[in-house]
């Protein structure tokens, strides 16, 4: 707009400003028209930014920046409020060069990223992009690389959320993978390195876009995305809900709200949730419901590696990241895939000092050729590292039933730095379960016994009492106390209240 | 035809269904024993049991089909 700077009198300045605003309004109107019909898209980039934020709080960065096809920015970036707290947002605009990332667009995104990092506000990326803008060549690639670099720099400072509301292909797909949490809309949200045509040309594989990178694929099979939303609005709402549990930055206070009592029915039921026989599965969600504040909670990757639960909720109004074994799925076993899921969640909580509550009922790490072949040692070690590193978080651990072997150590044990650990009175904590231990410790006696089965049972009962009972762990000071299930919440509330004095 | 598959390596502890039984999604068909835990293999959808592919005591690997369900008769 050269005539803006050329204006000399106040009248012509006024006129020039008005002209610039008219141009802007025209751009916005055109953008709206250009996306009509918008295919499967429901909202324009601007509408998406506005829907993510509290009403009338969106302030756009550099709204006059060129958005001509070819040379244009193709991103709506700015800031606004979510539940009254500042959040930076960058929404790809698929109406300009299909949201492909060119040099100008990358620069606009990087500016938003730097603003968020410097000011200490979370950033939400709304992705809808075909990848790098081909005519921009190396400038596009360089720009994408700069976005990635800032994604990484932001990791230790501010929460980053990616919302996938369209294709997110090629170079565009790596940015979400460098952010903390990814939400995908069902249907038109896709993430992949290359789409169906290129896949067919490259390897001959015949697969649909959904099969290669749909929301179902990424929230159930690959684990690349953490939440699946039915539509665009639900995806944006999910991002708001996720932000409600997170501090604005690693330096900021926790997002504390008014305390809500536990659901009285769940609290009443908690003492009866765990079956007497250690081999019978149960739903760990019932334990969680009997402990946390009643009301909304957000489970991440609910359909991916469901044998481990990772969710955000609240205790006494304070956000808490819950990690739990789920005995109802694969017996609650730890394996290479769910180890990565747990480690990632714990590591995230640690970066932002979010308290971590670990609920343990784990038969062990799954042994055998399949899991060893998947590198369970390396993946399991990630869980150990994540807990040890999470020194900024209060780490609270409750052994609900079984905690055996290396899996006992991995699940937020005192040895890894838990601040408080409790065990329910029926808990079993030992190097291995009674069956295996008896066979190992009494091999000769069992071989010589007249009735090996009876002796085995007797020895197992003895082992359970003498070795595995939580009083052994409590006597050694490794478990702080042995408690009844219904006492769990009050112990946790007391521990969490300490945090108010930090 | 749809197959209910073992989600974990283990041995077949109990078979709960017979050929011809009507089943619905989530119904337990077979209970595996793995890591001293009882781990059910559940029906992925509606139908009737066409074949039980395992016997009690048999070892199954993760992903092995355990029960075949005929879902073509509009059960």
pLDDT of the residue at A130: 85
Q: Is the pLDDT of residue A28 over 70?
A: no
- Which parts of B1-75 fold into alpha helices (H)? none
pLDDT of the residue at A107: 92
Distance from CA of B36 to the nearest CA of A (A): 6
Answer yes or no: do B35 and A366 touch at CB < 8 A.
yes
Nearest CA in chain A to B31: A280
Secondary structure class of A1 (helix, strand, coil)? coil
Nearest CA in chain B to A365: B35
Averaged pLDDT, A282-289: 98
Answer yes or no: do B36 and A278 touch at CB < 8 A.
yes
Answer yes or no: do A333 and B7 touch at CB < 8 A.
no
Nearest CA in chain B to A436: B36
Distance from CA of A71 to the nearest CA of B (A): 51
Distance CA B53, CA B40 (A): 15
A with B: how many residue pairs have Cβ under 8 Å apart?
A: 39
Distance CA A489, CA A493 (A): 6
Read off φ and ψ for residue A297, nearest 5 degrees. -140, 160
Per DSSP, A132 falls in state B
Look up residue A94 and give its two tokens.
């698929």
Q: Which residues of A touch B7 (CB under 8 A)?
A: 329-330
In this complex, the residue of B36, B61, B62 whose CB is nearest that of residue A363 is B36
Tell me the residues of chain A between 310 and 339 that have a Cβ less than 8 Å away from chain B: 327, 329-333
- Split at pLDDT 50, 70, 90, the class of A467 is confident
Q: Is the pLDDT of residue A38 over 70?
A: no
Distance from CA of A374 to the nearest CA of B (A): 13
Q: Which one of A274, A279, A304, A463 would you mutate to disrupt binding with B, by most B Cβ within 10 Å of its Cβ?
A: A279
Secondary structure class of A183 (helix, strand, coil)? strand
Answer yes or no: do A279 and B34 touch at CB < 8 A.
no
Answer yes or no: do A331 and B7 touch at CB < 8 A.
no
Answer yes or no: do B37 and A368 touch at CB < 8 A.
no
Distance CA A272, CA A282 (A): 11
| pLDDT digit string, tens, across residues A143-166 | 999 999 999 999 999 999 999 999
Q: Which residues of B touch A435 (CB under 8 A)?
A: 36
Q: pLDDT over 70 for what percent of chain B? A: 96
Answer yes or no: do B8 and A435 touch at CB < 8 A.
no
End-to-end CA distance of chain A: 52
Secondary structure class of A344 (helix, strand, coil)? helix
Non-local CB neighbours of A392 within 8 Å, separated by 6+ positions: A350, A351, A352, A353
Answer yes or no: do A333 and B35 touch at CB < 8 A.
yes
Q: Which one of A307, A331, A337, A365 would you mutate to disrupt binding with B, by most B Cβ within 10 Å of its Cβ?
A: A331
Look up residue B75 and give its two tokens.
């059960």
pLDDT of the residue at A132: 87
Per DSSP, A467 falls in state I
Tell me the residues of chain A between 349 and 378 that have a Cβ less than 8 Å away from chain B: 363-364, 366, 368, 370
Q: Which residues of B touch A281 (CB under 8 A)?
A: 37-40
Nearest CA in chain B to A366: B35
* Mean pLDDT (chain A, rounded): 91
| pLDDT digit string, tens, across residues A405-419 | 899 999 999 999 999
pLDDT of the residue at A288: 98
Q: Which one of B34, B35, B60 would you mutate to disrupt binding with A, by most A Cβ within 10 Å of its Cβ?
A: B35
Distance CA A122, CA A111 (A): 14
Look up residue A126 and give its two tokens.
């709304």
Unique residue bearing structure tokens 């079984």: A402
Q: Is the pLDDT of residue A349 over 70?
A: yes
Per DSSP, A254 falls in state P
Q: Is the pLDDT of residue A338 over 60?
A: yes
Asked if A79 and A124 touch (Cβ cutoff 8 Å), the reply is no
Report the range out of A2-11, A61-70, A367-376 with the highest average pLDDT.
Answer: A367-376
The Cβ of residue A403 has, within 10 Å, a number of other Cβ atoms equal to 29
- Which parts of A135-231 fold into alpha helices (H)? 138-154, 174-177, 196-203, 209-213, 215-216
pLDDT of the residue at A72: 66
Q: Report strand pairing: A227-229 vs B28-34.
A: unpaired
Unique residue bearing structure tokens 């481990």: A308
Distance from CA of B5 to the nearest CA of A (A): 12
- Split at pLDDT 50, 70, 90, the class of A269 is very high
The H or E element spanning position A401 is: strand A395-404
Task: Classify residue A24 by burial, with Cβ atoms within 10 Å: 0-12, 13-18, 19+.
Answer: middle
- Which parts of A427-487 fold into alpha helices (H)? 434-441, 443-448, 452-463, 470-475
The answer to whether A406 faces chain B, any CB pair under 8 Å, is no
Strands (E) located in A149-238: 160-169, 181-185, 190-192, 227-229
Q: Which residues of A touch B39 (CB under 8 A)?
A: 281, 330-331
Distance CA A50, CA A86 (A): 13
Q: Which residues of B touch A433 (CB under 8 A)?
A: 36
User: What is the four-CA torsion angle of A163, A167, A169, A173, rounded to 10 degrees?
Assistant: 10
The answer to whether B37 faces chain A, any CB pair under 8 Å, is yes
Asked if A413 and A358 touch (Cβ cutoff 8 Å), the reply is no
Task: Classify residue A230 by burial, with Cβ atoms within 10 Å: 0-12, 13-18, 19+.
Answer: exposed
pTM of the model: 0.91
């Amino acid at each position: 707009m050269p005539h803006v700077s050329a204006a000399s009198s106040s009248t012509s300045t006024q006129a020039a400003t008005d002209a610039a605003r008219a141009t802007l309004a025209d751009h916005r109107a055109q953008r709206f028209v250009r996306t009509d019909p918008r295919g499967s898209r429901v909202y324009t980039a601007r509408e998406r930014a506005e829907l993510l934020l509290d009403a009338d709080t969106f302030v756009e960065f550099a709204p006059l920046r060129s958005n001509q096809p070819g040379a244009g920015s193709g991103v709506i970036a700015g800031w606004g409020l979510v539940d009254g707290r500042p959040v930076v947002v960058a929404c790809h605009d698929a109406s300009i060069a299909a949201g492909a990332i060119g040099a100008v667009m990358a620069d606009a995104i990087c500016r938003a990223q730097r603003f968020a990092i410097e000011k200490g506000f979370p950033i939400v990326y709304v992705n809808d992009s075909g990848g790098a803008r081909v005519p921009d060549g190396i400038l596009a690639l360089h720009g994408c690389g700069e976005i990635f670099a800032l994604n990484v720099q932001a990791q230790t400072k501010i929460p980053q959320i990616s919302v996938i509301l369209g294709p997110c292909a090629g170079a565009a797909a790596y940015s979400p993978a460098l952010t903390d949490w990814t939400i995908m809309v069902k249907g038109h949200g896709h993430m992949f390195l290359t789409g169906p045509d290129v896949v067919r040309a490259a390897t001959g594989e015949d697969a649909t876009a959904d099969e290669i990178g749909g929301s179902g694929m990424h929230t159930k099979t690959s684990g690349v995305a953490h939440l699946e939303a039915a539509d665009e609005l639900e995806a944006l709402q999910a991002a708001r809900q996720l932000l409600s549990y997170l501090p604005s930055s690693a330096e900021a206070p926790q997002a504390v709200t008014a305390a809500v009592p536990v659901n009285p029915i769940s609290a009443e039921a908690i003492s009866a949730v765990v079956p007497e026989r250690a081999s019978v599965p149960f739903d760990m969600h019932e334990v969680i419901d009997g402990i946390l504040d009643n009301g909304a909670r957000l489970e991440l990757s609910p359909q991916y590696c469901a044998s481990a639960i990772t969710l955000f909720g609240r205790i006494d109004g304070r956000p808490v990241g819950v990690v739990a074994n789920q005995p109802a799925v694969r017996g609650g076993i730890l394996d290479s895939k769910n180890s990565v899921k747990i480690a990632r969640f714990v590591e995230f909580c640690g970066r932002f000092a979010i308290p971590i509550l670990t609920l343990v009922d784990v038969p062990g790490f799954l042994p055998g050729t399949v899991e060893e072949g998947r590198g369970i040692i390396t993946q399991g070690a990630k869980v150990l590292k994540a807990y040890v590193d999470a020194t900024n978080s209060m780490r609270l651990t409750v052994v609900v039933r079984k905690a055996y072997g290396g899996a006992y150590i991995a699940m937020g044990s005192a040895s890894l730095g838990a601040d408080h650990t409790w065990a329910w009175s029926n808990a079993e904590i030992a190097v291995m379960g009674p069956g295996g231990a008896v066979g190992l410790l009494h091999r000769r006696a069992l071989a010589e016994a007249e009735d090996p089965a009876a002796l085995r049972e007797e020895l197992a009962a003895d082992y359970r009492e003498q070795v595995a009972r939580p009083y052994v762990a409590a006597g050694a000071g490794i478990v702080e106390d042995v408690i009844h299930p219904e006492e769990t919440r009050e112990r946790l509330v007391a521990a969490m209240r300490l945090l108010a004095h930090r | 035809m749809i197959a209910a598959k073992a989600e974990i390596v283990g041995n077949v502890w109990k078979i709960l269904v017979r050929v011809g039984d009507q089943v619905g999604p989530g119904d337990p068909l077979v209970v595996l024993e793995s890591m001293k835990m009882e781990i059910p293999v559940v029906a992925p959808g509606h139908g009737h049991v066409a074949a039980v592919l395992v016997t009690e005591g048999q070892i199954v690997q993760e992903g092995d089909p355990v029960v075949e369900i005929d879902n073509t008769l509009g059960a």
